[in-house]
Amino acid sequence: MAVQRTLSIIKPDAVGKNVIGDIIRRFEENGLSVIATRMEHISAAQAGRFYAVHAERPFYKDLCTYMSSGPVMPMVLEGKNAVNLNRELMGATNPKEAEPGTIRADHAESIESNAVHGSDSLENAAIEIAFFFGDLDLHSH
Ligand code: IDP
Ligand code: MG
C-alpha cells in the first residue's frame, strides 16, 4: 500500500476536552506521522466553505456553528494507507455506532460533536490539505 497524505482536524469539542495528545498518540502509534499542523479558530463562513459538500443537508448550519465554536487543530497525516487508516482510527460518524477503541467511541459527544474530521478519499484529501496548508507547510520526516 502506497504512502498517502490525509487531512485530520481535531474538532472544537476534543480540543476543549484536552485530548489533543491522546488523539495524536493514536495516529503515531499506528504508523501515521504529523507532517503539518497548527491551531486555528475558523469562522462559520470558513467552516461553510470547508463543508460545502454538505450545504444542502439539514445539519449544515449547526455544523458550521459548531466548527467555529472554538479552536481546532487541522493536521496533515502521512503514512501507508493514510486515508483509510485514519478513517478506521476515527470510527463511525455517530459515536454510538463507532467501534470500541476508536477515537469517536472514546471521545465524541454526539453525531455532530464527534471529535475529529478525516478525509474520505485520496482525491478529497488533496483538496482538504490545500484548504489549510501550502506545499511549504508540509514537512515529511
Ligand atoms: P464524517 O465526518 O464521518 O466524514 P460526514 O457525513 O462527512 O461524516 O459529516 C460531516 C460532519 O457533519 C460529521 O463529522 C458531523 O460533525 C456532522 N454530521 C454528520 N451527520 C450529522 C447528523 O445527522 N446530524 C448532525 N451532524 C451531523
Ligand atoms: Mg465526511
Task: Name the stretches of the chain with pLDDT < 70.
Answer: none
CA distance 131 to 79: 20
Active site residues: 117
CA of 29 to the centre of ligand 1 (A): 26
User: pLDDT at position 30, please?
Assistant: 98
First to last CA, the chain: 19
Given 3-state DSSP classes, what are the helix, strand and coil percentages for the chain, each rounded to the nearest 5? 45, 20, 35
pLDDT of residue 1: 80
Nearest CA, atom 8, ligand 1: 93
For CA atoms 110, 93, 83, 80, give the dihedral sign: positive
CA atoms within 13 A on the CB side of 136: 0
What distance in Å separates the CA atoms of residue 131 and residue 50, rounded to the nearest whole number?
7
Q: Which atom from ligand 1 is nearest to the alpha carbon of 92?
A: 3
